[in-house]
Structure 1
Amino acid sequence: MNNKELDNTKKHICFISAGHLSSNPRLIKEATLASKKGYKVSIVAIQTLEKLVPFENQLLKENPSWQTYIYPFYKKKLLYFFGTLFHHLAKQIPNLARYFEYGKMSINTPFWLPFYSLLKNIKADIYSNHNIYLTPLVYQIAKKNKAKFGMDIEDAYSFITAKTIEDGQKNIMEIENKYFPKADYITAASPLYVDFYNKLYQSLPSILPILNVFDDIGEQEIKEYKDRKNTKNLSLYWFSQTTGKGRGIEQIIEALNVIDRNDIELHLRGEVNQETKEYFLTLAKTQNIKENIFFHELVSNQELAKRTTEHDIGLALEIGFSINNELAVSNKIFQYINTGLAILASSTKGQSWLIKKSSKVGFLIDIQNIKQIAQKIEFLADSKKNNTQELENMKMASKNLSKTKYNWTIEGQKFIKIIELIL
């Protein structure tokens, strides 16, 4: 961690992460591109899980030009105790805490104090905020330094779990309503967020959708399969930070029960405990299916692309349980396109927006219609088994989209243009 005050010989962008840097590929892409374009880049983040630190160390090694300010919260140093203490006190006396901006932040997060200790020494031209809870702090520091304040809407923050506007998190809505209109620019990870937020709040700056696409990795020669067990089998693949219940995996296993074939593998990547593994395996009704369900550990972002390439079908199984889940266009669906996988996507509004524009890459499914899901999987399994072109055509269409439309070389220019516009 570098705590020296930065000089301003170049235009300087300070990125504020919501947590672990390695868990924020959107910020990483923006920071990497800004650095390549000659901007001075600093990044402020926090570490809460020691097991993710090696991924971050590798990332920082690959980007030596970044100035990184990372507080190791997991080590439980002094600011951990003060931040946690203020958080618990503020939650006990919320009516009093709400009179003060820092009191409000203490209610929302124990992390604001470590972030403040790092941010106060950074003088930038733009503060690009990816942390909704720290928005008041980031805005105040930007204002103090006569700098620009940018906000990224990676999720509909107030509605991560809420099904209606009335159920939205009031503390976050208060932050959004007060500070979003003060932003010099706002970007959003889904085009559906644009209309949603413009209807929700007044006097917002123009919201620019920037999709969560990746650098096109070109054609990949697979020299060694680390995930797949039998390349003759159809391989279904899903990944996230956490492999858990209620994320559409149950419906896929139910569909596999309907088909009951031994030539289909299901690969799940994410943090998972033994109880959850046993839960999913118990759902499999036959040994054929149970033996072909595989759990994989998290890997670095670079390794993730290589592992994803091994598979045939990427599963994007959002179940639309909240406003955010319904409107989001997730990272994983673009990772599948980037690595040339056919796609099986649930028909949320966000995913329908994408797949209907790119129908050759795969199928939209009703996540609650097990019979329909089974039919789509069996169709693709038959294509794999019989060497017909349907599956391969989908994979080629997906890869072509990565080359020609959904890649960071194209999408990233939107971010650079908005930075150039406000400076």
Structure 2
Amino acid sequence: MKKILLISPFPPAQNPRLLKEYECLKANQFDVKVLYAERDRWAAAFKPIANTDFILVGGAYGSFFYYLTRVIHKLLRHVLPLAYGYDKASWLLYFKALSLRADLYIGHNLATLPIVVKLSKKTKSKCGFDAEDFHRNEVTDDQSKAEFIIPKRLEDEYIEQTDFVTAASPLICRAYQSIYPKLNPVNINNVLSIEHVKTPIEKPGQASDLKLFWFSQTIGRDRGLEVVIKAMGLLNTTEITLTLLGSITPENKTYFDQLTCENGLLPNQLIIHAPVSPEKIFELACQHDVGLALELDSPYNRDICLTNKIFTYVTAGLAIIASETTAQKAFLLEHPQIGKSYSIGKARELASIINQYRKNKNLLNATKVYSTELAKKTLNWEKESKIFMALVEKTLEI
């Protein structure tokens, strides 16, 4: 039985792509283990699978060892080679992985790229890397900043040494291909399993309310939420609500409460929901009408990525309203019956689309049905996983 080690500096609750790969590989009779570290309090609360396949390094969040390893990283990060010091958990992941010999190492997040390459060289095995983002432009487009320079160094040194690269959108694939012509990255969309598909809740024709939904790991400023609240204010109705699912600081909670008030909305029109386990997101989302994909077009990564939001909304049977990043506009042009797009930052344009769905329940219901059918027939992990498995089997020469 071939052994595969999946490596991430984040726990599975913050990396659904990794969790889907784990489940797929297990179902196909591979010996799979996951090596990970913890980062945020909310994610540490969710332990998706309590078994020995999931191996934590760096200590549980909040423990003495957790803080000790971070102090050690601060002391050594300017001494350690970049490959072992890029992330707080990099060196821990590498040294622990040495004891978990595998036929294939797959890295998630840029911190693991040099790790899987070094492991594969040392053990004469294979390695792959999942580029969920275009990492050099993940934080900034300013090429003079360390947030660009350091990821670029890692990519330039290691990415062409992998046996395969997957990416989370066609445009991320294209971006890497343009820099590394020999790379041939394979697109694996952030789709979900058919088992999560929800039957859309039909909105009665006489209903005048509309429920908007958005989620992320954290709720923060300058993520497109301000324009939604402004658009709701322009419509001058109390029958539209906005639910935000994610972790939020007290400062940002106050900020959004004030913004809601300033735009003439009632306090109960903004609903903030604490994080839930990944599988429960669908149960919450399907109680709404419209899913919001509000990506901005800067830095460049945001313009070309396709986040799991869109695919979650499709799976949950929601209509979609998406900002016109290059990737999201192309996606809705390919699937025009599941939603509408608006120009980034244009509150009146967004308000007009929201109002269409509020007033035209036939349009809303039909759009929700199209989303569900697309999830069942095309945009699901059962289909996408076949691409992933073919890549793994080719790499391992099975």
Give the TM-score normalised by structure 2.
0.92
Per the TM alignment, residue 288 of structure 1 is displaced from its structure 2 partner at its CA by: 4.3
Q: What is the percentage of aligned positions where both structures have the same residue?
A: 28
The corresponding residue for 1:4 is none
The corresponding residue for 2:49 is 60
Of residues 183, 192, 214 in structure 2, which corresponds to 1:214?
192
Matched, 1:169 2:148: yes
Rounded to whole Å, the distance in 2 between the matches of 1:221 and 1:313 is 11
8 Å CA contact 2:84, 2:90 repeated in 1 = yes
Rounded to whole Å, the distance in 2 between the matches of 1:286 and 1:195 is 41
Rounded to whole Å, the distance in 2 between the matches of 1:415 and 1:313 is 30
The corresponding residue for 1:246 is 222
8 Å CA contact 2:192, 2:380 repeated in 1 = yes
Matched, 1:185 2:168: no
Matched, 1:416 2:394: no
Structure 1 stretch displaced more, 172-181 or 405-414? 172-181
State the secondary structure of the residue aligned to 2:81.
Answer: helix
Of residues 43, 51, 54 in structure 1, which corresponds to 2:34?
43
CA spacing shift, 1:85–1:54, aligned 2, 3 Å:
closer
8 Å CA contact 1:79, 1:114 repeated in 2 = no
Unaligned runs of 5+ in 2: 202-206
Unaligned runs of 5+ in 1: 1-9, 92-96, 223-230
Rounded to whole Å, the distance in 2 between the matches of 1:375 and 1:133 is 42
Q: 5 Å matches for 1:141-290?
A: 141-163=119-141, 169-204=148-183, 206-216=184-194, 217-220=196-199, 233-284=209-260, 285=262, 288-290=265-267
The corresponding residue for 1:225 is none
CA spacing shift, 1:221–1:131, aligned 2, 3 Å:
closer
Rounded to whole Å, the distance in 2 between the matches of 1:186 and 1:392 is 39
The one-character-per-residue Cα deviations of 1:192-236 (angstroms, maximum 9, x if unpaired) are 0122112223532x21000000002344488xxxxxxxx862100
Rounded to whole Å, the distance in 1 between the matches of 2:165 and 2:316 is 29
Rounded to whole Å, the distance in 2 between the matches of 1:286 and 1:135 is 45
Per the TM alignment, residue 270 of structure 1 is displaced from its structure 2 partner at its CA by: 0.6
Per the TM alignment, residue 48 of structure 1 is displaced from its structure 2 partner at its CA by: 2.9
8 Å CA contact 2:9, 2:90 repeated in 1 = no
Per the TM alignment, residue 365 of structure 1 is displaced from its structure 2 partner at its CA by: 0.6
The corresponding residue for 1:405 is 378
CA spacing shift, 1:137–1:397, aligned 2, 3 Å:
same
Equivalent position amino acid for 1:208 in 2: V
Per the TM alignment, residue 80 of structure 1 is displaced from its structure 2 partner at its CA by: 4.9
The corresponding residue for 2:362 is 389
State the secondary structure of the residue aligned to 2:252.
Answer: helix
Rounded to whole Å, the distance in 1 between the matches of 2:74 and 2:180 is 28
Equivalent position amino acid for 1:33 in 2: C
Equivalent position amino acid for 2:19 in 1: I
Rounded to whole Å, the distance in 2 between the matches of 1:340 and 1:164 is 39
State the secondary structure of the residue aligned to 2:46.
Answer: helix
State the secondary structure of the residue aligned to 1:255.
Answer: helix
The corresponding residue for 1:85 is 72
8 Å CA contact 1:241, 1:271 repeated in 2 = yes
8 Å CA contact 2:197, 2:317 repeated in 1 = no
8 Å CA contact 1:214, 1:335 repeated in 2 = yes
Matched, 1:21 2:12: yes
Rounded to whole Å, the distance in 1 between the matches of 2:231 and 2:42 is 34
Rounded to whole Å, the distance in 2 between the matches of 1:323 and 1:218 is 31
Equivalent position amino acid for 1:68 in 2: F
State the secondary structure of the residue aligned to 1:301.
Answer: coil
CA spacing shift, 1:143–1:403, aligned 2, 3 Å:
same
Aligned length: 387
State the secondary structure of the residue aligned to 2:150.
Answer: helix
Rounded to whole Å, the distance in 2 between the matches of 1:289 and 1:410 is 43
The corresponding residue for 1:313 is 290
Matched, 1:300 2:280: no
Equivalent position amino acid for 1:38 in 2: Q
Per the TM alignment, residue 137 of structure 1 is displaced from its structure 2 partner at its CA by: 2.4
Compute the RMSD of aligned alpha carbons.
2.0
8 Å CA contact 2:233, 2:264 repeated in 1 = no
Per the TM alignment, residue 250 of structure 1 is displaced from its structure 2 partner at its CA by: 0.3
Give the TM-score normalised by structure 1.
0.86
Of residues 380, 394, 404 in structure 1, which corresponds to 2:357?
380
Rounded to whole Å, the distance in 1 between the matches of 2:263 and 2:348 is 18
Per the TM alignment, residue 161 of structure 1 is displaced from its structure 2 partner at its CA by: 2.1
Rounded to whole Å, the distance in 2 between the matches of 1:286 and 1:141 is 54
